[in-house]
Structure 1
């Protein structure tokens, strides 16, 4: 198990053990919780002393501190014991900065609106992913995991999506000028790509998986209930296309969530979590935004995928 997942797995295991010990009565549970507190306090004091020794020796330089806090396991332990040099807002802002390149590749961005006293992070979606059905899933993968790693004390994440903009009464001068210059986008274009109609998605049955070639891009789509999801047809683990991929039920997922299984390396990808790989959470399928345009399902194809 890698260091990034070790802290979370240990916390879950400790919690499950405490629950099991609770079946022995309140006294047994109280003693178990006291034992955990004593061990935690001991290691916390040790970590604090290590930092004091490094500082006293002049070895706790800014580069050393940056290296320590950039490690997910060390950073998480420093947060738990109140030793992290960055406060909560700074760590959340850093987490958002780390995923902006990923969101930007889909023509989107995210804005930090604030953090409540209860530890709830409020965000707003920006860019072309705003309002599309896959935006919440993209956010969950790209943003939520980053925030939970950098700031495990966060109690929740709320996403605010702006209401659809109404058509302006007047055409802005800048837009008119760009059209006269021939630089404005055509009606089917989006930032970084184009919307391509894919009416076949309407006939996709729940539980079905199908592949499509859209403007030179191999697309893998599946349906769970009324929800349709689309991804670039490429397994990030074995780097092969996934014809014959199957949709399996995720027992722990709500609302009948499903797992796409690669037919080659048999890796599993959580569809409702933007294709995150269960075997390696650092990997994920590449989700594609979907939208009903004129009543026809359409998929956003990145510019790089379009044929020359």
Structure 2
């Protein structure tokens, strides 16, 4: 029987592993005392500065010869590894506001799939990002989770120098006025995720991470599948070209969604989707953040998970502390 050929790990995984290895070696240096740790850190700093100077000179040479046009700059910024190196050395071609707007653009398909959106109001000189939630994201039960998992992750990845995220209510909504919008420290955005930890523990102690889930790409329209991402149980489905993911737990019977089916709502259009729990027969509106449609279940909903897909790959944001399936 022929053995299955395995592909080499993606370049992004290789350099992430290298970064983790550098950190572990520095930690090991600490075992030799403070002086050993300081020498290790100085070595890393000198090597980083050396290559940073070379990278800066490389960009200068390309620019002097007219090669650093908008197309090339966009390609550099779009490459995760190159963009990270440019950020470290202060050479990124785009400012903080442009990078944050680009990050929000990347998660808008997820927000839009639930009838919501987010608006960038500005970035202050001290590194505070001011946002406004729109549509169903403004005041919906899962808006805190949306911020914690989708928006925060995208913004911090694109602009690691930010300090806080200010969230202002939409015009006309209840609560504080836009001029007095609450200041939300970045670390506090995981509070709802911690409160909702189904294991009873504190799943938000570490944070949330984006986990690749290759099986989602092959999911056909109308199909439902229960999967695991980084040890976190999820149930996913596809409606046409769009993918949706939720924590694998029914909000009514609190059981895993084993045998769940996806159907069109009675009288609904072709893009409507209702996820049905096979255990208690509860019905959830997929496009409305998993809101329960059954009488007497107002406020009940599945826990949606941010999901990004480009047709060739898919990733889901889940708590970094694994949660065992029940």
State whether residues 121 and 158 of structure 1, in contact with CA within 8 Å, keep that contact through their aligned partners in structure 2.
Answer: yes
Residues 24/112 of structure 1: CA separation in 2 closer, same or farther (3 Å cut): same
> Within 5 A, what are the aligned runs for 1:260-299?
260=233, 271=247, 288-290=289-291, 296-299=298-301
Q: For structure 2, list consecutive stretches of 5 or more residues without a partner in the other structure.
A: 1-8, 175-195, 202-214, 237-244, 249-285, 303-326
Quote the residue 2:224 is aligned against: 241
> Within 5 A, what are the aligned runs for 1:78-227?
78-161=86-169, 165=173
Over the aligned positions, Cα root-mean-square deviation in angstroms equals 4.1
State whether residues 6 and 73 of structure 1, in contact with CA within 8 Å, keep that contact through their aligned partners in structure 2.
Answer: no
Residues 127/90 of structure 1: CA separation in 2 closer, same or farther (3 Å cut): same
CA distance in 1, matches of 2:171, 2:296: 19
Aligned positions, number: 212
Under a length normalisation based on structure 2, what TM-score does the superposition of the two structures give?
A: 0.53
Deviation at 1:137, TM superposition (A): 2.3
SS in 1 for 2:93: coil
**Structure with greater Cα Rg:** 1
- For each residue in 1:46-69, what CA deviation from the matched residue of structure 2 results, as whole angstroms up to 9, or x when unmatched? 111211221222222221122111
> Within 5 A, what are the aligned runs for 1:33-72?
33-72=41-80
CA distance in 2, matches of 1:14, 1:71: 22
Residues 154/13 of structure 1: CA separation in 2 closer, same or farther (3 Å cut): farther
SS in 2 for 1:48: helix
State whether residues 115 and 287 of structure 2, in contact with CA within 8 Å, keep that contact through their aligned partners in structure 1.
Answer: no
SS in 1 for 2:131: strand
CA distance in 2, matches of 1:270, 1:38: 45
- For each residue in 1:95-136, what CA deviation from the matched residue of structure 2 results, as whole angstroms up to 9, or x when unmatched? 112322331221111122443444343322211122222222
Q: For structure 1, list consecutive stretches of 5 or more residues without a partner in the other structure.
A: 167-206, 208-221, 227-234, 251-257, 264-268, 273-284, 301-308
CA distance in 2, matches of 1:9, 1:286: 36
Tell me whether 1:20 sits opposite 2:28 in the alignment.
yes
State whether residues 123 and 157 of structure 1, in contact with CA within 8 Å, keep that contact through their aligned partners in structure 2.
Answer: yes
CA distance in 2, matches of 1:151, 1:50: 23
Residues 260/163 of structure 1: CA separation in 2 closer, same or farther (3 Å cut): farther
Quote the residue 1:259 is aligned against: 232
Under a length normalisation based on structure 1, what TM-score does the superposition of the two structures give?
A: 0.56
